[in-house]
Every structure is written in structure tokens, then in C-alpha cells.
Structure 1
Amino acid sequence: MHTTQFVESYFDAWNHRDPKGVADHLTADGVYCDIPQNVQRSHDELINSLSIFFKKFRHRYELVGDILTNGNTLAFQYRICPLGSNGNSKPAAPVNGAEFMALNGNGAMTITDYYDSPDEALSSRPASIAPHALQINKYAKSGLSAQQLLDYKDRLKQIMHVQQAYLRPDLTLPKLAEAVNCSVNHLSQVINAGFGMSFFDYLNQHRIQHARELLRKIDDHNGAILSIAFTVGFNSNSAFYAAFKKCVGQTPAQYRRAQNSLSH
């Protein structure tokens, strides 16, 4: 589906208050990420959340400005104009924000929602953010535009994927920001809004992916797990095990045994 048609279809589903229509823009294993509230929802979880939300609130969803694209990533700004809760004639203040989508085929692997709104408008957000509705958006005055976010994100991917900066055991957020040539605050926002995770989770994701490749190639006799931990940038075996278990759901030894059994 063409990018413009995809976004138009997405807005159409929101304006028709169609929970399944919104969620169906995700791939089967896609995730919707609410960055300011640190909430992630799967396809079915998003349907359940929006079903409750649409029964309680009525809004008009508007695209603001152009749709920006960079590879398989697209971004756009939006405005939500609340029409008032059912039975409530006084609408809340508008909500402004931006969404970032990582596409795969005809669906989005991630839909990342980044918004900045007055406190009184936050009560009209979906149920997923209700517990922290009065939090102030920590990115409210960052000054980072959607186009800058895409540019920094593309530069960051180059540094991480091609230059493999994650292999450096001394890599920190300030050092990575220097490599990307942006401020620490902006890089933190890029990682949170663009990838739906913290700096440490983003860093560990790359390290663990590299470790998985090494564990598939090297058997018990030719590569110690501790050696692999240091190779991919970890400073300790315990940190490696904790990060691997969080990302993969198995310990490195369990993962290696499982991979070896599949190859025989």
C-alpha cells in the first residue's frame, strides 16, 4: 500500500472509531508504543484499549503538514480535536503530537506515539495512559522536529549497524550523541520516540543480536560464553546474562543448546 494511502486509511479508522481498523495497521507481531507514558500494546491489546476509549470519547483526527519518509520509516504530525465525552457538551483542549511508523510490507512493525499536550487534554487520551495522565511530557520543549528526528535516526542506524558502535564497552549516551552530532537530550528522544525503548535497552538489543549470531556459529568447544559477552561489548558475564534473558527469554547457554539441536 502507498504511504499516503496507508496514513489516510489509518486516520480513517480513527475517525470512524474502529478499534480493529486502527490495530490492523500493525503487522501480526506489531506493537503500538505510547512513549510519554511508557506503554506498549499488541494488536489485540490495542483493540481492547481503543474499544473502551471510543465508547467514552469522540474526536476528530487531523493530519498536520506533510508525511515524511525515510526508508521503511514514516512520520507525521497530527492534531486530535475532542468533541466531548458522551453526554458532555464541553470538549477538552486539542492534543498535538506525532507518530512514527516502521513499516514491513503492508503493515507497521511499530507505531510510536509521541505527543505534547496541555494537562487538561491528557484526560482524553486512551485508557493506556490514564494512570499517569498528569505527567508533564519530558520532551515538551526539546525543539526537535519530526524531520530532524528522522535524520538523526538514520544517522544513528548507520553508526550502530555499519560502524557497530555498540561493540565498544565504554559506549555511553553522551559519546553516542557526539558521534551522531546531536545533543544528548535529542538523541534520547530519537531512541525513545523512534525505537520505543531506552538507551540501555537499545544498546543491549544490538549487543544481544550480535551475541545470538555468534552463539549460532560457535559451539561449546570453540567459544566460551564469557568470551562472547566481552566480544559484543559487555563488561561482565552477569550483565550479559541478564540482558540476554530479558531480550530472548532464555539464557545464552539455553539458546545455544536449542540452536545446536535445531542444526542436528
Structure 2
Amino acid sequence: MKKFTATSFVASYLEAWNEQDAGSVTEHLCSNGHYIDEVLQEAMNKKTLFEELVEYFQSDHSFYEVTGDILSNGKTIAFQYCAKPMAPDSRAEVWHGAEFITLRGNSAFEIRDYYQLRAGLSRGQGGEGGVRYVKSGLRAEAMAQLLEALEHLMLEKQLYLDPDLSLPKLADCLNTTVNHVSQTINAGLQTTFFDYINQKRVEAAIKLMQSDSRSREAILDIALEVGFNSTSTFYSAFRKVTGQTPGSYRRRIKPAV
């Protein structure tokens, strides 16, 4: 049996990427391991990573290789890599990244991937065959469609009023994956799922405060009505959106109602 070393692990791991073999890539994770895309702030288990890689490899044509030393202390591995276009006549640029791996036995419990976007391109752009995220199967066109569907759903169904709304539940409503919804909100709207939903709730609360018939309603009642589970969460979100507390905001607008 071949002796396990950090060098052999990285060589096998990158070989799987270069062969565009989603199963072989994910086999480097232990059963409960996860891969974290630090740029998009996404954590994926083996199943989710496999599904993402199958889609990603359909459009990715990069060759990955180590640059510099592979560092290891027996429990962790760190290395830098570059991704070059496979086709010699490709106009795609070389891009770079680094991975930090936490081991559990001879498998990875956690893989954290940090990578740079290509020079001259904004966040999420690059690659051949259209604008796309460097290590995501989600293209800009699909993201735009998902953003449109998301906003339509919020406007028509007001899902943010559901206090039990979660990312998986929202993904089901949009008939897509949790990862794609999260990427769309993170990269397309430059915010997180919770901040996005809480902003919608705060906006709904402000409308209630501005209403003649609801202007004196208890703040707790307003918070619960727009989907918050507690006043503390409501106060925190309200201050984040408006820069002031709900009480201060209501006192400020009171002469106008």
C-alpha cells in the first residue's frame, strides 16, 4: 500500500481536478467532510460538491498545478496552485489560488479554497464560453434569471413574512439548489441570505410604522408580523438597515403620520 504523504495527497487531488472527475475529487473528503469556497462563502458536503463539480466541469477547461512548496504538519496541508487553460490557443487567463486542508486520517475533513479572480475582471467573471464564476457552475445568465425569480417571489408571495423561512425552503420555492440561491444572493446582491430577508422584513415594518392605523402598534407586534421571531433580532436588523432603533425611527416620523 502506498504510503500517505501530503505530496501524494495533493498530487492525487489535483489529478482528479485535471481529469475532471467529480467522484475522484470528492473521494478525497471523508464521509462527513466539507469543501468551503471562501470567495463565495459557501460550504458544501460531498454530495453537494459532487453536483457542483459535474456542472462546473462541463464548462471549465483548466489545468491545475502546484506552485511553490506543499506545507504540512501531519494534521493540515497548505499549498498554492495556478489554473491554466488547457487549449493552447485559448484566450482565457491564468488564475491562482490556495487551499488549506484539515486532515482526518488519510482523508480531508475540511478543504478551504481561496482563489483570485482574473485580472481586469469583476467579481464572478471569467472563463470561456461566457461570464461565469471561477469555481461555480452558475453562469451570469442563470444568476440574472434567478435574481428576477427571487425578486418576483418576494414581491408576489412575500415569503420573508414567514418566520420559518430558510435557505432550503427558499431554494425549493425557486426550484433550484441551496448553493445556487446562496451564490445568487451573495454575489448577485452582495449580501447574505439572512441580511437580504431581514432587509425585506425591516422595509415591511417601516411601512407599518408609517401607516396611520398602525403607527401606535407595539414594536413587538410589528416585529412578529413581518417575520421576526424576537425583538432583539428585529432591533439589530432595523439598526443595520436604517442606522437607528425602531423606537427612534417611529418618534422621528411621528409628526408626519
Using the size of structure 2 for normalisation, the TM-score is 0.50
Q: Which has the larger radius of gyration?
A: 2
Between Structure 1 and Structure 2, the one with more helix by share is 1
